[in-house]
Structure 1
Amino acid sequence: MDEKKRHELIQTGWEMHSAVEEAYLRHPATRQDQNAADAWREKQRLLLADMAIHLLQTAIAPGPIERDKLRNNLHAILTISDPFLPLAELKKATEKLYSGS
């Protein structure tokens, strides 16, 4: 990828990140609100999108990939995704991310 395109994608990523993060922060749902399980799941979807954008930023950043950032991005994505795919045991898979770094 040429540097101009990389810069454009990074800039677009920051714009997307701002929009998604703002929507997440404005979302009124809380984990403790048992009457709004659907609202909480919707808020978690926004958080998942936010973490996916962070993964994009880590993946296309100039230079060698920062392994700690990649590990943290994947940990967040797997943890947030776990309730959406309960049989996949994604949260359990995160244990291996930090072993033998």
Structure 2
Amino acid sequence: MHEQILQLITQAHSLTEQGAAAESDYWERKKLVLADLSLHLAQTALRRGPLNAQELQRQLFSVLTLANGFLPTIDLKPTAEALFAASQPTTPTPEG
């Protein structure tokens, strides 16, 4: 079942990209981009094997960042920033 769903998502992904590129209205284009980002999230969730935590965090960051513009009474920015920070590789601190 996963493969059939992924095939449909691939088709929808192509259509949303084409639609976003052709859309002249700013908010309609953003809605199509949000749909496209959501499809990426669905692809990640349906892949076989363990979820890639960093990829999932980056995708959620992107969805939250774009969705923030559609939700004027809710500030998603702190949550998006926390996800972004958590997705960054940690740099070891020098000893001494």
- Shorter-normalised TM-score: what interval? 0.7 to 0.9
What is the root-mean-square deviation in Å for CA atoms of aligned residues? Answer: 1.2
Number of paired residues? 87
Cα displacement (A) at 1:27: 1.6
Determine which of 62, 75, 80 is the counterpart of 2:66: 80
Matched residue type, 1:23: G
Q: Distance in 2 between matches of 1:69 and 1:22?
A: 24
Q: Deviations over 1:53-101 (max 9, x none)?
A: 0000011111100111111110111011111102211122111113445
Match of 1:27 among 6, 23, 30: 23
TM-score norm. by structure 2 comes to 0.83
**Counterpart amino acid of residue 13 in structure 1:** I
Higher fraction of helix: 1
Q: Which runs of 5+ in 1 are unaligned?
A: 29-38
The two structures have a TM-score, normalised by structure 1, of 0.80
